A and B are shown apart, each in its own frame.
Chain A
Amino acid sequence: MIIHHPILGPRDSAEFTYLGDANLIHRPDWQAEDALAQFTDYGYQRKNPAGVHRELWFHEQGDRSWLVVTRNTVTHEITKVELARDVARAEGRDT
């Protein structure tokens, strides 16, 4: 597969390490009332769709950016690649 890195252009997926569901960005608030339940969902619940999936890839053999790649798990079509940091900021992660 080829991943179009937002900064570095088209790169072979062999340069990347795969992590999984981009929902891992949504780490719960440790001070929430139900923090334990929230963290359990965060840690263990995955959608695993046959279709469009937002997922985290690490450019380990490259610039060490974490990317959010929107990929169809059936066709492997990649429709969007973003810097995870931009995504996290846009989603309002505060620190």
Chain B
Amino acid sequence: MTQVNRLSGGLIDRNAPLSFRFDGKTYQGHKGDTLASALLANGVRLMGRSFKYHRPRGVMTAGSEEPNALVELRSGAAQEPNTRATTAELFDGLEANSQNRWPSLAWDALAINDTFSNFLTAGFYYKTFMWPRAFWEKLYEPIIRKAAGLGSISFEPDPDQYDKGFRHCDLLIIGAGPTGLAAALTAGRAGLDVILADEDFALGGRLNAEQFDVGDQSGAHWAANTVAELASLPNVRVMARTSILGAFDHGIYGAVERVSDHLARPEAGKPRQILWRIYTKRALLCAGAMERPIGFENNDRPGIMLASAMRAYANRWAATPAQEIAVFTNNDDGHRTAADLAAKGVTVAAVIDTRENAPKTGSYEVLAGAEITGTQGRLGLRSVDVKMANGQTRRIACGALGVSGGWNPNVHLTCHQRGKPEWREDIAGFVPGAVLPQGMSVAGAAQGIFPTAACMMSGAEAATDICADLGAPTPAIDLPSTEDAPVNITPFWHVQGAKRAWLDQQNDVTAKDVKLAHQENFVSVEHLKRYTTLGMATDQGKTSNIPGLAIMAELSGKQIPQVGTTIFRPPYTPTAIGALAGRSRDEDFRPTRKTPSHVWAEEQGAQFVEVGMWLRAQYFPRPGETHWRQSVDREVLQTRNSVGICDVTTLGKIDVQGADAAAFLNKIYANGFAKLPVGKVRYGLMLREDGIAMDDGTAARFAEDHFVVTTTTANAVPVYRHMEFVRQCLFPNMDVQLISTTEAWAQFSVAGPNARKLLQKVVDAEHDISNEAFPYMACGQITVANGLRARLFRISFSGELAYEIAVPTRYGDAMIRKLVEAGKEFDAVVYGTEALGVMRIEKGHAAGNELNGTTTALNLGMGRMVSKKKDSIGSTLSERDGLNTEDALKLVGFKPVDTEHPVPAGAHLMTKGDPVNAAHDQGYITSACYSPNLGCHIGIGYLKSGDTRLGEVVRLVSPLTGLDHDVEVVSAHFVDPEGERLRA
């Protein structure tokens, strides 16, 4: 197919033809095209269907503000919905499809919505789908979601990679138009560390879209030469295809660089996009301005676009939407479109200017004081109806119409820290307010300065001021002479009497909808936005907000600045979720921590479980075992009958040293540590300041001034943070230092009747670990395997004769192999977290399920451990009445009366004969397991006054799962209640 609407000139590479597909049809374009420019060159004006009414729509802009020409780009897993055809860079093989139409773009069944538009006005959903309530979720919403909407998603994982990066600079210049380039030259030559970022792939902004010269060369040439000079400066980094998304606190900017979106697929090893966090000393906003439309009857037909966009397509991309065009304007700038297209050989049917004093700008007809009252052409513009100054109506044939309602400075980023823009009457637009994000200044069109020469001057001056601020000497810059036309505009927002004048084409909001909202007393502009949806969705109303505000002002008899604007928030343009996630997805969503015995456990075919970020061996299935409980039961019984080994490295370890180490632990723990002898370990209970149990563990005293504290796996980080808080903020004069050594030591539990015999084969002979020399709760620094330093603790979580032995982490793998080897003669078993859990429940030891953030020492049965003789964190508030009631929950054990019954954690407990409801709740099961030693399920949990109810039978209920049976209240110490084994 030929490119029927391709013009001469432009910045496309005619030696690089590209082939692409749109809605299944193949077209040709050139390198340098966007999807939108290539479609226009191929005579395609119809590019999409509108959100609500499914009206045929064409491209409206030539930039990232595009509301209409949204397409699904690429296919399969890489398919991306709602991509703007105006920013999609053409590449060979590009595949795009239109959205929100069925069965085809030209014939869309749901265009029938348009016929019922009288019903589908603002607030339609709120008013209509009110009743019956249950229908909303099941019936109305699914239908509406299907009928209305934008693109579809692939439901497949994103196949691309995204990265995150950090950059630092003295000055970030946002936008590489004439203002930004002049500023970058000034600051770059002065030696500042500069980043120049622009969302476009061709830098230069409007210079690439205009005919006028800069100095003795074309604007595009001047831009290209300037960018080349900047790129040659070592202190300037030029970032094309990079959108600044937001201005954040303290001079930090977010940006997304589209590294590979202009390629069929990313180069090997390259990400698709990079999310940058840019730290700046100063930022200069040179984001330019955006043209805004005028509202008139049926102003949304394919072929009707912004005048500046039409001019950009002709000048930069050598494409025109039609061979015969017209222009509708309220200012001088619109005439430039007519002049430029006429110069390219396009027929200009007329320039319709709302001003009586419209200038005569070319050989085409200018209709002064005229308005457009209607348009024709369902799938593409055919003609416009013009009401002349003399009141007569004329129909003018044209295939495209350029509309110019004036220019809005791009103030968005100035408002990201709640800055409020201010109205300027002479340009009929908002400019940045006085309060800007820290370190930001604004220059050029973004500041309301429109003539190109003045823009360059403004950019250079702003850069000079910044250089002076940062102490860099600034050489004078000779700026070339260029376009310097004054702004001549008479505000004109919409043609009166129009029934369907589209303001927000993305959301199908008309001037009438704004009127309706006003009638229904939506006074606040924020409410107007939510009620009508004006300014929402992917374009965030970049072209529609100001005309909407103008109409709101007119209706309420206010001035535009009194109506105010809605709040601009990041991101400036739609951003792929993938870019925000970066590499933090799938298995890299967060770090994975592996224990020192991980490789060995993998070799054994262990089943692993996630515990926080740790991967721990859950159990070790043996051949012939078909159910996890077979493995776990075996591991438990073998440990209790002989000896078991378990990697317990994940427990937090904190080294506490200093003259006041014992005094410090006295503050941290509810129980006392001052009198703990060297060479001994003590269990410690840590409270939060509000008296609730925080964590538990042990503290081993290796010297008068040296303790090693352990924490639970889950609380290793918060406990360390808490201890540093107590040390630095509460007791700043204590002589004590803390360091986390969790990762420094590989630690193994060795438990069971043969534990000592096994360890005696591993521990060097000079260390006596007999029961007499190394009794229960002893600790010591020893050596293993002929001199390797190690730490030995005689502590027990399982209730057996048990030790924990620690070696430097790099010896962890060797240590597990040595222990297993030494254990062979005792038929030692290595057990995982499941068996660990079974044995601690059998022993009634509390863990995370019991220390659940609502329970106190009293609940845990450790009330008397809280020393009243000393001050410790939480001791005072633990005495509150509410925490010490007569019927306080107490930790006890539970056994089913019928031993076949389960005892699931989370089940609640009721007194026999009481109704089953919350008011009669007696407590709940916290941890449960099958006990191979008792031959039935057991549980531990909290029961009101539980310690006085041993032997009582209570009801265990779980209304959710239909459980209701009897359990007996027993001591939580199911195995060896006297503790004889662990002292053996």
Contact surface of A with B, Cβ cutoff 8 Å: 1-2, 12, 17, 19, 24-25, 27-28, 30-31, 35-36, 39-40, 42-43, 56, 58, 60, 64-66, 75-78, 83-85, 88-89, 93-95
Contacts and interface: CB of A to CB of B under 8 A. Distances in A.
B391 to A, nearest CB: 56
A43 B879 contact: no
B104 interface: no
Nearest to A22: B729
A66 B724 contact: yes
B729 A84 contact: yes
A43 B249 contact: no
A88 B729 contact: yes
Given A2-B279, A84-B729, A94-B733, 14 more contacts: A2-B251, A2-B252, A27-B689, A27-B730, A36-B877, A36-B879, A39-B689, A40-B880, A58-B725, A76-B249, A88-B732, A89-B733, A95-B731, A95-B734
B26 interface: no
A78 B877 CA distance: 34
Contact of B729 (A39, A60, A66, A77): A66
B658 to A, nearest CB: 13
Contact of A30 (B251, B663, B876, B880): B876
A66 B738 CA distance: 13
B250 A43 contact: no
Interface of B: 249-252, 279, 417, 438, 663, 689-690, 717, 721, 724-725, 728-734, 871, 875-877, 879-880
Contacts, number: 76
B453 to A, nearest CB: 37
A36 B438 CA distance: 45
B730 A25 contact: yes
A39 B876 contact: yes
B732 A89 contact: yes
A58 B721 contact: yes
Contacts of A30: 871, 875-876
A43 B689 contact: yes
Contacts of B279: 2, 12
A25 B730 CA distance: 6
Contacts of A42: 689
Nearest to B733: A95
Contacts of A95: 663, 731, 733-734
Contacts of A78: 250
Nearest to B875: A30
Contact of B732 (A19, A60, A75, A85): A85
The 6 closest A-B CB pairs, nearest first, are A30-B871, A88-B732, A2-B250, A1-B249, A85-B728, A66-B728
Nearest to B660: A95
Given A17-B721, A19-B725, A35 B876 contact: yes
Nearest to B688: A43
B724 A88 contact: no
A60 B724 CA distance: 10
Nearest to B667: A95
Contact of B250 (A1, A35, A60, A94): A1
Nearest to B435: A75
Contacts of B252: 1-2, 12
A17 B718 CA distance: 10
Contact of B730 (A1, A58, A93): A93
B219 to A, nearest CB: 39
Nearest to A93: B732
A60 to B, nearest CB: 7
A88 B250 contact: no
Contacts of A2: 249-252, 279
> Do most interface residues of chain A lie in helix, strand or loop, or is the interface mixed?
mixed
Contacts of A84: 728-729
A43 B721 contact: no
B876 A36 contact: yes
A93 B879 CA distance: 24
Nearest to A74: B418
Contacts of B249: 1-2, 76
20 contacts: A2-B250, A2-B279, A24-B725, A27-B689, A30-B876, A35-B876, A36-B879, A39-B689, A39-B876, A43-B689, A56-B725, A56-B729, A64-B724, A66-B724, A66-B729, A85-B728, A89-B733, A93-B731, A93-B732, A93-B733
A60 B719 CA distance: 12
Nearest to B876: A39
A2 B879 CA distance: 41
A28 B873 CA distance: 11
A56 B725 CA distance: 9
B728 A88 contact: yes
A12 to B, nearest CB: 8
A83 B729 CA distance: 9
A76 B733 contact: no
A2 B439 CA distance: 13
A38 B830 CA distance: 51
A66 B725 contact: yes
A10 B728 CA distance: 21
A27 B873 CA distance: 10
A76 B251 CA distance: 12
Nearest to B664: A95
Contacts of B734: 95
Contacts of A88: 728-730, 732
Given A17-B721, A76-B249, A85 B729 contact: yes
A25 B729 contact: yes
Contacts of B871: 30-31
B249, B871, B876: residue with the most chain A Cβ atoms closer than 10 Å: B876
B232 to A, nearest CB: 31
Given A36-B880, A39-B877, A60 B721 contact: yes
A76 B250 contact: yes
A66 B876 CA distance: 24
A31 B725 CA distance: 21
Contacts of A56: 725, 729
A32 B880 CA distance: 16
Nearest to A29: B871
A83 B732 CA distance: 11
Contacts of B690: 43
Contact of A43 (B724, B730, B875, B877): B877
A39 B729 CA distance: 16
Nearest to B739: A64
Contacts of B733: 89, 93-95
A77 to B, nearest CB: 8
B775 to A, nearest CB: 34
Given A25-B730, A84-B729, A58 B724 contact: yes
A89 B438 CA distance: 33
A78 B880 CA distance: 38
A25 B417 CA distance: 31
A78 B438 CA distance: 12
Contacts of B876: 28, 30, 35-36, 39
A60 B730 CA distance: 18
Nearest to A19: B725
Nearest to A13: B249
Nearest to B277: A12
B689 A65 contact: no
A77 B438 CA distance: 9
Contacts of A35: 876
A75 B690 CA distance: 32
Nearest to B248: A1
A12 B731 CA distance: 28
A28 B728 CA distance: 16
Nearest to B720: A64
A51 B306 CA distance: 45
B250, B438, B689: residue with the most chain A Cβ atoms closer than 10 Å: B250
Contacts of B663: 95
Contacts of B879: 36
A19 B732 CA distance: 18
B479 to A, nearest CB: 35
Contacts of A75: 417
Contacts of A31: 871
A95 to B, nearest CB: 5
Nearest to A1: B249
